[in-house]
Amino acid sequence: MKIALIAHDNKKQNLLNFVTAYKPIFKDHDLFATGTTGKRIAEEVGLEIHRFQSGPLGGDQQIGAKIANDDLDLIIFFRDPLTAQPHEPDVTALLRLCDVYKIPVATNEASAEIIVRGMENGWLDWRMLKQSATLYDEK
């Protein structure tokens, strides 16, 4: 699966802890992240990760483009609900795209754990079947 990992500044350490705890699962997937979050995951957790721009500089929009092109399967976005974000419209647009394209999204540790455990148990395999059907239909 293709998984985007995003975190607001006050939640980056929470995401690093989460990815570290589930590293055996994440290592088998294609990972994407916005700027600093991706850098920290690569350096501190040791996972290979494709990095986009930071969120305020367009990283959220780059991830949104992957969603619109059906090139992303899951988003884990640890949001900080208590701090105003200058790029909040971009965040809202990203979450809207997840709803439009039926992309599972977790915004905190509790929902992320449920989704990651579900992924581990094959509960998100419908994403892979959807992609295989699309590839088959294109031939």
Pick from 93, 76, 86: nearest CA to 4 = 76
60 in catalytic set: yes
Distance set, CA 137 to CA 71, 130, 132, 133, 134 (Å): 16, 11, 9, 6, 5
Question: Which position among 9, 28, 60, 80 bears the catalytic label?
Answer: 60
50 contacts 32 by C-beta, under 8 angstroms: yes
The residues annotated with a catalytic role in the active site are 60
